Amino acid sequence: MEVSNEVSNKDHKLEREMREVGELSLVRLVNDSTSDEESELVSLSLGISSTGKHEKKIRTENSRENEDLKEGLSLGLGIRFDPSAIQNQSTESRCDGEMKEEELREIWPPSKVLKTMRTWDKSEASQHAEVKKARVCIRARCDNLTMNDGCQWRKYGQKIAKGNPCPRAYYRCTVSPSCPVKKQVQRCAEDMSILISTYEGTHNHPLPTSATTMAYTTSAAASMLQSPSLTTQLGLLNSDTVPLLNSNVLYNLNALNFTSSCHHVSKSPHLFFHSSSISTSSSHPTVTLDLATLQTSPHIGNFTPSLSFIPKYSSTNVDFPSSTFSPLQSSVLHSPCYGDYFNYEGLITPNRNLNGSHMNTGKQPFLGHLCRSNNITNHAVSKQSLPDSIVAASKAITATPKYQSAILAAALTAYAGNGLRENHDEAQSAGLDLNLGGDMPYTTKTIYPNSNASRYKRMSFSAPTAPKINSVIFQPSHASKSNLLLDQ
């Protein structure tokens, strides 16, 4: 009995470690692909929450085990971060229709086979336990038990977290048994109608079209957060560039495939985010995207955020000049594309351009996408040409290699959200199927509530403790000028 337990524990250890190695390798890949100068980024990314010593250990482990992992990881790597791979994937799903769930399952071996792969994962992970993964937290009003992000999840645990009477459910991505992505779902204590979904990790497998938006968005947000280039160089950012990066994450987030009950979001013709935040808490750096305060206000142009940012990697406070919300962000948010990201069923519109041809091969500049989206008009919103400030911002960013990983992440997000349909009628006239995104149903059924109180006898219901985190917070303000505060 003891022996079998020991073996079992070793298996889990291996599983964790294998997943961790996958994450680290992926981080390296995305950085390598951005520029020649990314070697610095690689090490910084790896070192986000680890010491140099640990980093060294990771690399040693990686090289030792790399050969065995190669096969298991190569597919996911290519699809995840290689733009051409993304293009291929997208192209395939556009040409042949959405990659069906069944097809995905055929690609991956049965769970029993891949259980061995997970076992692999664990041995590495335990050795790299200190390497904390970035998380992307999404708050959205949703009546359903869970937000439909297009992925398949399997519940593996549930627990009451301190300060919230609602149980937190733990899910694992089951599209691929070796996928390291996890999700936590919990109701907001203050407002039970708000569902808080926290994503961790990056998918290492092909995703259903309906899931790509979330995947790329969370990936981009996480990359943004993890990018030392962004967090260490904030002194070079201005109020245009910060929203520039964030806008694309937020922009793409609006394509989330909410279930129909999330009408507050899915039926909104024009969406914008009241707030998003980045926290770099000691345990897990987290990007929080708040969809719960979405509004359909036509006065988006008045949206002026207050911004505070305390970079994790720098002890130096940075003062940003006051300014209104980035015109680029404003234009993006105003974009008909933005509003039309949801079709009338609240589903993601396909990644096609107005001609029905495939868009964005992954070689187009990031800003190009944004400019193009600005050209597609059909709504009664003001059209803005790209202001000089944005051009300046783009120059500033592209001239700074250290921003490139963040840009890449944002660009991937843009790719995922590219080729939006102008509206449903136009799509139909073009002979397109707007529902290519499909809607992979959840396999989970019950998350909340849990009546078994005895299980949580240790829980306490004290008020949430004051955040000890550094944060970036975008908040709406009706003041003429935004407040850019820095404190630590």
Partner DNA sequence: CGAATTTGACCTGCGC
Partner DNA sequence: GCGCAGGTCAAATTCG
The answer to whether 480 and 304 have CB atoms below 8 angstroms apart is yes
Burial 249-285 (b: 16+ CB within 10 A, else e): bbbbbbbbbbbeebebbbebebbbbebbbbbbeeebb
Please select the residue that binds DNA; options are 444, 469, 471, 485, rule is CB under 7 A: 444
Q: Does 158 bind DNA (CB under 7 A)?
A: yes
DSSP H or E run through 409 = helix 404-416
The one-character DSSP state at 313 is T
Q: Angle, nearest 10°, between helix axes 38-46 and 52-81?
A: 110
Q: Does 263 bind DNA (CB under 7 A)?
A: no
Please select the residue that binds DNA; options are 114, 447, 472, 484, rule is CB under 7 A: 447
> Angle 81-228-18 (CA atoms, 0-180°, nearest 5)?
50
Q: Does 128 bind DNA (CB under 7 A)?
A: no
Sites for DNA among residues 11-50 (CB under 7 A): 11-12, 15-16
Nearer to DNA, 200 or 340 (CB): 200
DSSP secondary structure, 22-49, as one string: HHHHHHHHHHHTT-TTHHHHHHHHHTSS
The footprint of DNA on this chain (CB under 7 A) covers a number of residues equal to: 43
Nearer to DNA, 11 or 32 (CB): 11
Q: Does 459 bind DNA (CB under 7 A)?
A: yes
**Measured from the CB of residue 461, what is the shortest distance to DNA in angstroms?**
9
Nearer to DNA, 36 or 190 (CB): 190
Q: Does 160 bind DNA (CB under 7 A)?
A: yes
Nearer to DNA, 118 or 402 (CB): 118
> Angle 149-151-157 (CA atoms, 0-180°, nearest 5)?
100
The answer to whether 362 and 415 have CB atoms below 8 angstroms apart is yes
Bridge partners of 305, per DSSP, are 476
Please select the residue that binds DNA; options are 284, 358, 364, 384, rule is CB under 7 A: 284
> Smallest Cα–Cα separation from 253: which of 214, 205, 288?
214
Count of CB atoms situated within 10 Å of the CB of 446: 11
Q: Does 452 bind DNA (CB under 7 A)?
A: yes
Please select the residue that binds DNA; options are 54, 154, 267, 358, rule is CB under 7 A: 154
DSSP secondary structure, 421-483, as one string: -S-HHHHHHTT--GGGG--PPPS----S-----GGGTT---PPPPPP---EEEEEEE-SSS--
Please select the residue that binds DNA; options are 94, 139, 141, 182, rule is CB under 7 A: 182
Q: Does 488 bind DNA (CB under 7 A)?
A: no
Please select the residue that binds DNA; options are 39, 74, 193, 282, rule is CB under 7 A: 282
Nearer to DNA, 299 or 468 (CB): 468
Sites for DNA among residues 383-442 (CB under 7 A): 442
Nearer to DNA, 355 or 462 (CB): 462
Please select the residue that binds DNA; options are 25, 178, 184, 331, rule is CB under 7 A: 184
Candidates 4-12, 60-68, 261-269, 347-355; binding stretch for DNA (CB under 7 A) = 4-12
In angstroms, the Cα distances linking 125 to 84, 119, 418 are: 29, 10, 35
**Measured from the CB of residue 454, what is the shortest distance to DNA in angstroms?**
5
Candidates 124-132, 249-257, 304-312, 380-388; binding stretch for DNA (CB under 7 A) = 124-132
Sites for DNA among residues 347-386 (CB under 7 A): none
Burial 122-145 (b: 16+ CB within 10 A, else e): bbbbbbbeebbbbbbbbbbbbeeb
> Smallest Cα–Cα separation from 197: which of 272, 137, 242, 269?
137
**Measured from the CB of residue 291, what is the shortest distance to DNA in angstroms?**
21
Q: Does 460 bind DNA (CB under 7 A)?
A: yes
Cα distance from N-terminal residue to C-terminal residue, the chain: 52
Nearer to DNA, 66 or 282 (CB): 282
Q: Does 458 bind DNA (CB under 7 A)?
A: yes
What does the binding site for DNA look like in residue numbers (CB under 7 A)?
Answer: 8-9, 11-12, 15-16, 122, 126, 129-130, 154-163, 168-170, 174, 182, 184, 282-284, 442-447, 450, 452, 454-455, 458-460, 462
